[in-house]
């Protein structure tokens, strides 16, 4: 039996995980104090007559040269329309490369070909912040010998900046580029808006390769990623399918239960005293979270207050609030729809920032620290308010922190919204299957049948009760759900660790064990 | 719903179904079984791992209140609560021509 | 007097909606066996609603079931539903006092010993029903409210249903006056455009001004707005306090006549003030210490 340790939220972990190394146990959201210098990439030069234009990827692979065991990084702004990861990895496979580590900020169903590369040893290491689709399922089923590493968006930036995720070659999918390597995401057929998640990769990788299908005359503007960091520019037919990149419009949910949760969420924000001049806010793009923005907006309009900024993944709804004067700025790491792309290109108050600026815990201050309120989702939450957004009810990986843990740690008031029952399954458990965001950073749970406040926030509980909100203990809500649905039988997993869940500071908050077919 | 009674007083069951495949519902199909086959339950559920046993128990308990001995119950569950499972089983059995023990007395 | 600002219809054959019916905090939920259920699903819906009544927690919402009309499945509905202890039945297409008496008799027969008596609400949605409104209103002591169903009513009239509601002015007046004369509540017809919040506000304010005590609703998104409109305003509460203190002052001074702002305060004014304060108290809108 391997030696084990327990981290500060009671998760039992091996001291050392094969293929990962020594485990630094999570010890509290702000317990780790950094003591290191930043990573320094290779210093390059470019002679006046030099050129960066390359005919194809193979040429770039030979020039660098890409060799066995390297770490190749990618960003996910082209989301489920991305063509770049597959074309680069197909090249690597064709050239007979082995033992590569792919560091891709988020994985989507379109990345299914990676599974084949994993099976035949081209890819043996995987590093990401969010996984969905066939790759997530294959990793859950144990396709890799080494565990994958699951980080937060801020944690990935930190790991790159601090040298724990050392990138040999960063491949940047560039919707627009010039020949000398200036890049942006706001024009071209695959326009996706912000390129923020690629900023750390471009800044710290030893080699940076831009891949584009839209070349503009030098100099390109605006410049999101500058020529000073880009070694090669490869032009290809098509970097991605616009249909999978951005949605036409992001719509508010019409589900009445979701709307009820959203309305209660807005009342929570109001009762916390946050709807005032300078209010800052982050919310997701789906379900009840975006609908919460709609109710918050009504309150802001009624009170006549102007917010300072909205942060995170940006939707057309947030753009509309900026344009109507309800927020002074948008701070954007990723656009979700065409409106967000248009606004980033045209509006000087719509700011494009990198993942480190957005959420890294180890710099002189990231944007999430300036948040008044954030509204986040959950797959499961436990009575200590720890949240799981990594594994589904069957134990299969179906997500990841993304910015969840980062925003939760930074915001003054962190609100998790969820239906008390999802299908028949109660959302509240004694112990979530995979802890992703620690309970100490979650202040309020809003469900359709009541609001639970983290005992650490007695101040909020008083305010909510005074405002007439339906405040309940989290245990009461759990009991209520179980009265309706019955107590679920726990699911089981295999022993093998298939993913290590790192908190934003690089400590291990939990591990994911191999998926087991349920009897 | 009228029940077709045979001379012996034991109703002839016919195939019937109730419920839908909407989220939160369960579709129950009742098929007459061979004499002596007993009550058989086939369950497909999105929450089988967590509630499979409980769902089957509810189906059996509800069926036990009816004059139905040799039947196959096929259930496709979309996360229905117990009250819904009971109601759908009762509706399917009534439509199949089963008589509840309460009515029978 | 029960609070019935909002009465929310929930389709009777939809398990997900039935299980969440309580979360919208309507004053009453109406589990609907009539219009929301296709004829071939009446049996299944009846069983589903019966089970929901027994097990689902509807919180503070009054549990109402809309049964089918007397000439279709009312009898089967009553036999199955009443023993499951709904608070009330909403009887559709009521046209005369006898409709209510018949339902009341069937309900009495279906009730279990010791069961809390099931109340009735009559839905008037035909010209004849409107014409008979007062007779209906005093037909049976179980009847606690008259509700107006304007969609069917205007169709019978051959009038076009509009947002302003000019065409239902007469029906609203008849329902209001008959209910008041019989000492029961009047409930207004639903505002059917779920995507017109301004229209809902205007229609609900009009209903409140006319004297309706609540409104039917077919969309959960309307509930909080309907409540906001029916709740006493700060000015109304303040006025009510002043009426009551004027009365107390007059009593203390031994004067038989109280006045406020130069007007005499008589019994109907006191009644209205008392009702406002009652609502304010149970809704948590009253001032501290009152």
Give, for all 105 residues of chain B, the pLDDT tens digit: 444 444 434 557 899 999 999 999 999 999 998 888 899 999 999 999 999 999 999 999 999 999 888 999 999 999 999 999 999 999 999 999 988 766 543
* Distance set, CA C125 to CA A41, A70, C177 (Å): 79, 76, 16
* In chain A, residues 401-440 whose CB comes closer than 8 Å to chain B: 423-425
Give the number of other CB atoms < 10 A from CB of residue C224: 17
**Closest CA of chain B from C32, distance in Å:** 16
Interface test with chain B among A258, A393, A423, A425, by most B beta carbons within 10 Å = A423
* Distance set, CA A234 to CA A94, A192, C4, C267, C275 (Å): 18, 19, 69, 88, 77
- pLDDT at position A503 over 80: yes
A119-125: Cβ within 8 A, 24+ apart: A119/A143, A120/A93, A122/A89, A122/A92, A122/A93, A122/A97, A122/A98, A123/A89, A124/A98, A124/A99, A124/A100, A125/A71, A125/A99, A125/A100, A125/A101
Is A333 within 8 Å of A351 (Cβ atoms)?
Answer: no
Res B1: pLDDT: 40
Q: What percent of chain A has pLDDT over 70?
A: 99
Res A55: pLDDT: 87
ipTM of the complex: 0.88
Q: What percent of chain A has pLDDT over 90?
A: 93
Predicted confidence (pLDDT) per residue in A398-432, tens digit: 999 999 999 999 999 999 999 999 989 999 999 99
Is the minimum CB–CB distance between C284 and chain A shorter than 8 Å? yes
Res C252: pLDDT: 86
Strand-pairing partners, residue A402, are A152
Per-position pLDDT tens, chain C of length 290: 689 999 999 999 999 999 999 999 999 999 999 999 999 999 999 999 999 999 999 999 999 999 999 999 999 999 999 999 999 999 999 999 999 999 999 999 999 999 999 999 999 999 999 999 999 999 999 999 999 999 999 999 999 999 999 999 999 999 999 999 999 999 999 999 988 999 999 999 999 999 999 999 999 999 999 999 999 999 999 999 999 998 888 888 887 778 888 888 888 888 889 989 988 888 888 765 44
Res B72: pLDDT: 95
Please compute Rg for chain C using Cα positions.
Answer: 20
Residue A319 neighbours by CB under 8 Å, 6+ apart = A330, A339, A340, A342, A343, A347, A350
Pairing of strands A497-502, A508-513: antiparallel
Is the minimum CB–CB distance between B15 and chain C shorter than 8 Å? no
Q: Does the model's pTM come out above 0.95? A: no
Q: Sort out which chain B residues have CB atoms less than 8 A from A518's CB and list them.
A: 48-49
Q: How far apart are the first and last CA of chain C?
A: 20
Q: Sort out which chain C residues have CB atoms less than 8 A from B88's CB and list them.
A: 44, 47-48
Give the number of other CB atoms < 10 A from CB of residue C211: 16
Given a contact as 3+ CB pairs under 8 Å, which chains touch B? A, C
- Report the distance separating Cα B29 and Cα B44, nearest Å: 12
CB–CB contact B87 C14 (8 Å)? no
Strand-pairing partners, residue A74, are A104
- Report the distance separating Cα A464 and Cα A296, nearest Å: 16
- Report the distance separating Cα C142 and Cα C136, nearest Å: 11
**Closest CA of chain C from A450, distance in Å:** 9
Q: Which of B1, B82, B84 sits opposite C48 (nearest CB)?
A: B84
Res C290: pLDDT: 43
CB–CB contact C44 B18 (8 Å)? yes
Tokens 């209906």 correspond to C136
Predicted confidence (pLDDT) per residue in C80-134, tens digit: 999 999 999 999 999 999 999 999 999 999 999 999 999 999 999 999 999 999 9
Q: Sort out which chain B residues have CB atoms less than 8 A from A393's CB and list them.
A: 47, 49-50
Residue C285 neighbours by CB under 8 Å, 6+ apart = C231, C232, C237, C279
Cα C144 versus chain centre, distance? 9
Closest CA to A150 of A132, A168, A169, A127: A127
Q: What percent of chain C has pLDDT over 90?
A: 82
Is C18 within 8 Å of C52 (Cβ atoms)?
Answer: yes
Q: How far apart are the first and last CA of chain A?
A: 27
The helices-and-strands tally (H runs, E runs) of chain B is 3, 4
Q: Sort out which chain C residues have CB atoms less than 8 A from A421's CB and list them.
A: 19
CB–CB contact C23 A448 (8 Å)? yes
Q: Which of A485, A490, A519 sits opposite B81 (nearest CB)?
A: A485
- Report the distance separating Cα C1 and Cα B84, nearest Å: 34
- pLDDT at position A1 over 70: no
Interface test with chain B among C22, C31, C46, C48, by most B beta carbons within 10 Å = C48
**Closest CA of chain A from B56, distance in Å:** 13
Closest CA to C216 of C113, C122, C98, C106: C122
Burial class (CB in 10 A: 0-12, 13-18, 19+), A84: buried
* In chain B, residues 19-38 whose CB comes closer than 8 Å to chain C: 19, 22-25
Pairing of strands A4-6, C88-91: unpaired
- Report the distance separating Cα C52 and Cα C75, nearest Å: 19
Residue A460 neighbours by CB under 8 Å, 6+ apart = A272, A413, A443, A444, A453
State which H helix or E strand residue A241 sits in.
none
Averaged pLDDT for residues A13-33:
97
Closest CA to A503 of A159, A39, A161, A197: A159
Give the number of other CB atoms < 10 A from CB of residue A31: 12
C63 vs A248: which has the higher pLDDT: C63
Predicted confidence (pLDDT) per residue in A276-307, tens digit: 999 999 997 777 888 999 999 999 999 999 99
Burial class (CB in 10 A: 0-12, 13-18, 19+), A27: middle
Q: Sort out which chain A residues have CB atoms less than 8 A from B53's CB and list them.
A: 489
Q: Which of B25, B83, B90 sits opposite C52 (nearest CB)?
A: B83
- pLDDT at position A488 over 80: yes
Helix (H), strand (E), coil (C) string for A250-304:
CCCCCCHHHHHHHHHHHHHHHHCCCCCCCCEEEECCCHHHHHHHHHHHHHHHHHC
- Strand, coil or helix: what is C98? helix
Please give the sequence-ordered ranges of beta strands (E in DSSP) within A105-157, or none if there are none.
123-128, 148-150
Is A339 within 8 Å of A350 (Cβ atoms)?
Answer: no
Rounded to 10 degrees, what is the CA torsion of B61, B66, B72, B73?
A: -50
- Report the distance separating Cα A103 and Cα A149, nearest Å: 9
Closest CA to C283 of C87, C57, C25: C25
- Report the distance separating Cα A390 and Cα A250, nearest Å: 24
Which chain C residue lies closest to A260 (C-alpha atoms)?
C24
Strand-pairing partners, residue A417, are A446
Averaged pLDDT for residues A438-463:
97
CB–CB contact A518 B49 (8 Å)? yes
Res A312: pLDDT: 84
- Report the distance separating Cα A132 and Cα A137, nearest Å: 8
Res C250: pLDDT: 86
Residue C118 neighbours by CB under 8 Å, 6+ apart = C82, C85, C86, C87, C88, C89, C107, C111, C142
* Distance set, CA C156 to CA A155, C150, C160 (Å): 67, 10, 10
The structure tokens listed for C224 are 């909080």
B70 vs A453: which has the higher pLDDT: A453
CB–CB contact A256 C24 (8 Å)? yes
Q: Which of A55-64, A249-258, A408-417 has the lowest mean pLDDT?
A: A249-258
**Closest CA of chain C from A96, distance in Å:** 54
- pLDDT at position A67 over 80: yes
Res A250: pLDDT: 66
Res C262: pLDDT: 83
């Amino acid at each position: 039996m391997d030696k084990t340790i327990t981290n500060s939220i009671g998760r039992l972990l091996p001291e050392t995980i094969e293929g990962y190394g020594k485990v630094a146990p999570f010890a509290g959201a702000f317990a780790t104090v950094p003591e290191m210098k930043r990573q320094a990439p290779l210093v390059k030069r470019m002679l006046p007559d030099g050129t960066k234009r390359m005919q194809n990827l193979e040429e770039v692979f030979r020039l660098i040269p890409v060799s066995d065991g390297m770490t190749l990084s990618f960003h996910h702004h082209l989301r489920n329309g991305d063509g770049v990861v597959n074309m680069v990895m197909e090249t690597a496979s064709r050239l007979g490369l082995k033992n590569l580590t792919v560091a891709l900020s988020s994985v989507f169903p379109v990345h299914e070909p990676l599974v084949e590369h994993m099976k035949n040893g081209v890819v043996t290491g995987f590093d990401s912040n969010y996984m969905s689709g066939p790759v997530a399922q294959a990793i859950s089923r144990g396709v890799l010998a080494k565990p994958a590493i699951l980080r937060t968006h801020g944690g990935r930036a930190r790991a790159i900046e601090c040298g724990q995720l050392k990138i040999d070659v960063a491949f940047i999918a560039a919707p627009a580029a010039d020949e000398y390597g200036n890049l942006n995401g706001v024009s071209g057929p695959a326009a996706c808006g912000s390129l923020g998640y690629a900023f750390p990769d471009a800044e710290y990788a030893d080699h940076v390769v831009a891949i584009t299908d839209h070349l503009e005359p030098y100099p390109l503007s605006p410049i999101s990623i500058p020529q000073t960091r880009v070694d090669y520019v490869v032009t290809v037919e098509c970097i991605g399918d616009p249909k999978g990149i951005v949605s036409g419009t992001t719509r508010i949910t019409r589900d009445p239960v979701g709307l009820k949760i959203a309305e209660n969420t807005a009342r929570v924000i109001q009762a916390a005293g946050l709807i005032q001049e300078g209010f800052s806010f982050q919310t997701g793009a789906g379900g009840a979270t975006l609908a919460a923005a709609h109710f918050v907006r009504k309150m802001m309009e009624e009170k006549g207050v102007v917010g300072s900024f909205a942060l995170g993944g940006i939707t057309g709804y947030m753009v509309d609030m900026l344009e109507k004067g309800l927020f002074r700025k948008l701070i954007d790491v990723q656009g979700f729809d065409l409106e967000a792309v248009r606004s980033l290109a045209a509006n000087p108050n719509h700011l494009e920032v990198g993942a480190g600026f957005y959420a890294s815990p180890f710099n002189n201050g990231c944007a999430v620290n300036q948040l008044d309120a954030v509204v986040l989702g959950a797959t499961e939450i436990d009575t200590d308010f720890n949240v799981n957004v990594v594994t589904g009810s069957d134990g299969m990986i179906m997500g990841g922190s993304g910015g969840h843990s980062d925003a939760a740690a930074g915001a003054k008031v962190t609100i998790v919204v969820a239906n008390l029952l999802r299908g028949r399954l109660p959302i509240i458990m004694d112990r979530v299957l995979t802890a992703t965001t620690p309970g100490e950073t979650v202040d309020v749970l809003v469900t359709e049948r009541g609001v639970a406040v983290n005992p650490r926030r007695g101040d909020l509980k008083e305010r909510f009760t005074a405002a007439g909100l339906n405040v309940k203990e989290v245990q009461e809500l759990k009991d209520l759900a179980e009265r309706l649905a019955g107590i679920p039988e726990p699911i089981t997993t295999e022993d093998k660790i298939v993913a290590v869940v790192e908190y934003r500071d690089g400590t291990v908050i939990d591990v994911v064990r191999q998926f087991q077919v349920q009897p | 719903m009228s029940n077709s009674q045979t001379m012996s007083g034991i109703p002839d069951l016919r195939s019937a179904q109730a419920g839908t495949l909407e989220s939160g519902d369960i579709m129950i199909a009742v098929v007459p079984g061979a004499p002596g086959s007993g009550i058989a339950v086939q369950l497909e559920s999105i929450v089988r791992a967590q509630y499979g046993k409980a769902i089957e128990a509810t189906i059996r308990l509800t069926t036990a209140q009816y004059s139905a001995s040799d039947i196959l119950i096929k259930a496709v569950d979309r996360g229905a609560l117990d009250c819904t499972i009971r109601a759908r089983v009762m509706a399917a059995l009534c439509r199949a021509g089963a008589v509840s023990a309460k009515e029978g007395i | 007097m029960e609070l019935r600002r909002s009465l929310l219809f929930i389709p009777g054959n939809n398990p997900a909606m039935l299980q969440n019916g309580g979360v919208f905090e309507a004053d009453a939920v109406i589990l609907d066996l009539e219009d929301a259920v296709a004829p071939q699903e009446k049996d299944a819906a009846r069983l589903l609603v019966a089970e929901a009544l027994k097990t689902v927690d509807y919180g503070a919402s009054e549990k109402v079931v809309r049964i089918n009309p007397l000439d279709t499945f009312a009898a089967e509905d009553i036999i199955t539903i009443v023993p499951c202890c709904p608070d009330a039945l909403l009887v559709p297409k009521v046209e005369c006092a006898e409709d209510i008496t018949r339902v009341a008799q069937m309900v009495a027969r279906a009730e279990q010993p010791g069961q809390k008596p099931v109340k009735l609400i009559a839905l008037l949605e035909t010209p004849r029903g409107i014409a008979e409104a007062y007779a209906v209103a005093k037909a049976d002591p179980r009847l606690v409210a008259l509700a107006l169903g304007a969609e069917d009513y205007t169709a019978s009239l051959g009038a076009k249903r509009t947002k302003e509601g000019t065409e239902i002015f007469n029906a609203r007046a008849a329902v209001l006056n008959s209910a008041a004369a019989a000492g029961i509540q009047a409930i207004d017809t639903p505002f059917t455009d779920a995507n017109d919040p301004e229209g809902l506000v205007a229609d609900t304010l009009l209903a409140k001004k006319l004297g309706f005590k609540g409104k039917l609703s077919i969309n959960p998104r309307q509930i909080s707005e309907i409540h906001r409109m029916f709740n006493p305003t700060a000015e109304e509460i303040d006025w009510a306090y002043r009426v009551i203190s004027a009365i107390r002052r007059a009593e203390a001074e031994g004067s038989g006549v109280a006045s406020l702002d130069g007007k005499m305060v008589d019994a109907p004014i006191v009644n209205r003030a008392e009702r406002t304060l009652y609502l304010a108290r149970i809704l948590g809108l009253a001032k501290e210490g009152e």
